[in-house]
Amino acid sequence: MVCRAIAPPRDRNFFLSLIKQTITLSHLNQTHAQIIHNNLINDQITITKLIQKLLDLKATAQAKLLFANTNSPDLFLYNVLIKGLGSSPFDSLCVYRSLLRKTEFKPDNFTFSFIIAAFSGFPASSSEKVGRLLHGHAVVSGFGSDVFVGSALVDMYMSFSRIRHAYKVFDGIAEPDTVLWNTILSGLVKNCCFDESLQVFRDMVVRMARFDSTTLAVVLSAVAELQDMRAGMMVQALAMKIGCHFHVHVLTCLVSLYSKCGDILTARSLFGLMWKPDLIAYNAMISGLSCNNETDLSLQLFQELLLSGHKVSSSTIVGLIPVFHPFGHLNLTQLIHGFCVKSGFVSNSSVSTALTTVYSRLNELELARKLFDESVDKTLASWNAMISGYAQNGQTEMAISLFQEMQKLDIRPNPVTITSILSACAQLGALGLGKWVHDLIKKESFESNIYISTALIDMYMKCGSIDEARSLFDMMREKNVVTLNAMISGYGLHGHGKEALILYNEMLISGIPPTGVTFLSILYACSHAGLVEEGERIFNSMVYDHGFEPISEHYACMVDILGRAGKLEKALEYISKMPIKPGPAEWGALLGACMIHKNANLARLASKQLFELDPENVGYHVLLSNIYSTNNNYSQAALLRQLVKKKNLTKTPGCTLIEVKGHPHVFTSSDQSHPQSEAIYMMLEKLMGKMKDAGYLAETVTALHDVEEEEKELMVKVHSEKLAIAFGLIMSEEGEEIRIIKNLRVCLDCHNFTKFVSRITERVIIVRDANRFHRFENGACSCGDYW
């Protein structure tokens, strides 16, 4: 008979060590059986560690069952379960409620930080409400100013884009630690508040708070987004000073910084400093090469990564997708798309969003929308990509429609969503919707976001509400160059050249350096206000004082400034002396000036160049034909029209939009499709009668020369803007402003017509055409008949 030795009982430390080493659920279950066998099932410390490991291995049902059968669990065990169930916030909340109702324990700072963290950014609509209630519980329990709880609260509010709430919590903590500073910094970066995050970091340095490599990595990511190389180099110097420059995550952020600032050589050198770059570093370098249009090198590094045995992640694929330089890379995008389908990455929301973005930028909106519709997990970023795709490609109605669908699904927008939809409102001139979005911004506490405030200013300017835009501008505590550019550009659109100049000079005094867009905006403003000397002075200052090399658009503005002022020969001389070859922009500006000043000889010269440079553009043919008609050269005008027909060129049809009670109405020339068409034409007849009594004569000089004068009057009588104005008068209250948007330049007769209407109806009529804004009041236009 064989006697078996009886194994001695194992103690707690043995099983704690065994639990720590366990990596699979089956091994853990065997350990659990041995714990029971060794009579340690009621040992609080052992059971706590067992439950913690079950939660780590995602065996939540088993963990909850074991907890339910535990005699007298302590507060520590409750906290372990609350934290472990964090991915299922409402399960975590049930445990928290059980702690309050079934025990005499009082939650501590760990309890509150774990339960609040569980609801941080959870997509359920009630999550934010629960989070606020938990905040209230923490305050009542005396943990409102606890640094540990404060970090969880700041993170939660930032995840819901409640930036003001996060600041309030942060400001209530007397001595924030490094973790709390890092939390507010990363929250600001996640909410695209990059300028604010730098300001917070400056405050951190001033207050001599301790920062670490994580702080610097977060700040570097903000600087990279701002493409502020100077600030980035200062942060890099700080990293060297505190000895964390060679930390992999700091080096990785520096790779991203230099890549986004266009210094790809330095980025590659920094990448080379890493002895053994991890996947995140590889991803940063692949993305850096891609964003600098080094597509071949990006693909080579991707292949090197695959060969090295690293398992690529969704971030690797996102970096490889040519989001920043999509043009000419449709085939590559489709190849990556195919690879993603085969490897399963297409189901990843960040990958599908990047592909949607590229397809949108390539104007492949059907492919983009198909990808968006097929995406099971539509994140906010994917909604933003599709909305901005529509907005950037001029499909503003689709952008607005998708935003409204998003609202119905109760998906909260973020600053990116808001700026995209405001851009769509600005393009469409949808002031009513723009104001509604402004109310939403107030509700979501986004007013302090500089990008949103700038987009609001741009929207109000492009919808004709110049006073609203200025009021917002004056209320902004911090303004950047983009904000100032929006305001200067807006003044230019409205013909307020002197106001634009005042703002430009204030900008120079404040020390904000102008950009190429600034100069373009101020030159445009000078052009539309007849400020010739000022325009020439600014152009020279741009070149000689600020060291900018003018591009075609800057030269075109100068030609326009000179041409509009009647200095046609000087404008031609300017074109001939340009250091770059003049293109359609310069010759087109000269042709437009020839129309204003009825100079057929120079018009022929400009047109000859334009017909060679842009032969398919029918607008130049029409403009030259109108110049001939204005000079009574009807035979040449007829020949040009025949040439247009022979070439089968089609003129963009004129259409006008008017928004009434939040609904857009679009009219085309001679339109009779509107439900109130009969009333509109009756109003038009009534207006014409009153206007003729007041001295109005139809401007028919550019109408076809081979029809009777009465027919010419009828042709110009039914232009789209006239129908829109008549409809506006029917639908609006007496004295109410009328706003319309025309897709082409307003013709001479419609301009004259609108002046008379503003006088006889005592209404303000604001017209946005393809060139600028016109404000008609008491029979006069803000453009001074200079457009």
Tell me the C-alpha distance between 664 and 314, whole Å. Answer: 41
Q: Which of 79-88, 127-136, 597-606, 756-765 has the lowest mean pLDDT?
A: 597-606
Q: Does residue 483 have a pLDDT over 50? A: yes
Cβ atoms of 205 and 216 within 8 Å: the answer is no
Q: Does residue 565 have a pLDDT over 90? A: no
Q: Does residue 374 have a pLDDT over 80? A: yes
Q: Provide the 3-class DSSP secondary structure of residue 218.
A: helix
Q: Does residue 113 have a pLDDT over 50? A: yes
The domain spans of the chain are 574-651, 656-781
Confidence of residue 388 (pLDDT cuts 50, 70, 90): very high
- Average pLDDT (409-413) is 87
Cβ atoms of 292 and 260 within 8 Å: the answer is no
- Determine the pLDDT at residue 747: 81
Q: How many residues in the chain?
A: 787
Confidence of residue 712 (pLDDT cuts 50, 70, 90): very low
- Average pLDDT (103-132) is 89
Phi/psi at 663 (nearest 5 deg)? Answer: -115, 130
State the CB neighbour count (10 A cutoff) for residue 663: 11
Cβ atoms of 779 and 491 within 8 Å: the answer is no
* Edge-to-edge strand list for the sheet holding 738-742: 663-668, 655-660, 738-742, 765-768, 773-777, 780-781
- Determine the pLDDT at residue 695: 85
Tell me which residue has tokens 């070859």: 581
Q: Does residue 387 have a pLDDT over 90? A: yes
> For residue 462, what are the contacts with CB-CB under 8 A and spacing of at least 6?
426, 427, 429, 490, 493, 768
- Determine the pLDDT at residue 123: 75
Tell me which residue has tokens 């200062």: 234
- Determine the pLDDT at residue 703: 46
Q: Does residue 505 have a pLDDT over 70? A: yes
Tell me which residue has tokens 């004068």: 709
Q: Which of 277-291, 437-451, 479-493, 639-653 has the lowest mean pLDDT?
A: 639-653
Confidence of residue 707 (pLDDT cuts 50, 70, 90): very low
Cβ atoms of 384 and 415 within 8 Å: the answer is no
Q: Does residue 629 have a pLDDT over 90? A: no
Q: Of 43, 82, 90, nearest to 63 (Cα)?
A: 82
Half-sphere exposure for 166 (CA within 13 Å, toward CB)? 28
Q: Does residue 536 have a pLDDT over 70? A: yes
Q: Does residue 611 have a pLDDT over 90? A: no
Q: Does residue 153 have a pLDDT over 60? A: yes
% of the chain residues with pLDDT over 90: 49
Q: Cite the DSSP H helix spans in 344-480.
A: 349-361, 365-374, 380-392, 396-408, 415-428, 431-443, 450-462, 466-475
Helix (H) / strand (E) containing 260: helix 248-260
User: In a 10 Å sphere around its CB, with 0-12 CB exposed, 13-18 middle and 19+ buried, how is residue 80 labelled?
Assistant: buried
Beta bridge partners of 658: 665, 740
- Average pLDDT (87-93) is 91
Q: Provide the 3-class DSSP secondary structure of residue 775.
A: strand
- Determine the pLDDT at residue 2: 45
- Determine the pLDDT at residue 634: 63
Tell me the C-alpha distance between 522 and 529, whole Å. Answer: 11
Q: Does residue 657 have a pLDDT over 70? A: yes
- Average pLDDT (703-725) is 58
Q: Does residue 585 have a pLDDT over 90? A: no
- Higher confidence at residue 79 or residue 620? 79
Q: Does residue 745 have a pLDDT over 90? A: no
- Average pLDDT (585-590) is 87
Cβ atoms of 617 and 652 within 8 Å: the answer is no
Q: What is the DSSP string of 619-639?
A: HHHHHHHHHHHHTT-HHHHHH
Tell me the C-alpha distance between 401 and 391, whole Å. Answer: 11
Convert the pLDDT of each residue in 1-48 to its tens digit.
444 444 556 777 887 888 888 888 888 888 888 888 788 888 888 888
- Average pLDDT (133-155) is 94
- Average pLDDT (239-246) is 90
Identity of the highest mean pLDDT range in 11-25, 441-455, 612-626:
441-455
- Determine the pLDDT at residue 218: 95
Q: What is the mean pLDDT of the chain?
A: 87
**Residue 507 corresponds to which amino acid?**
M
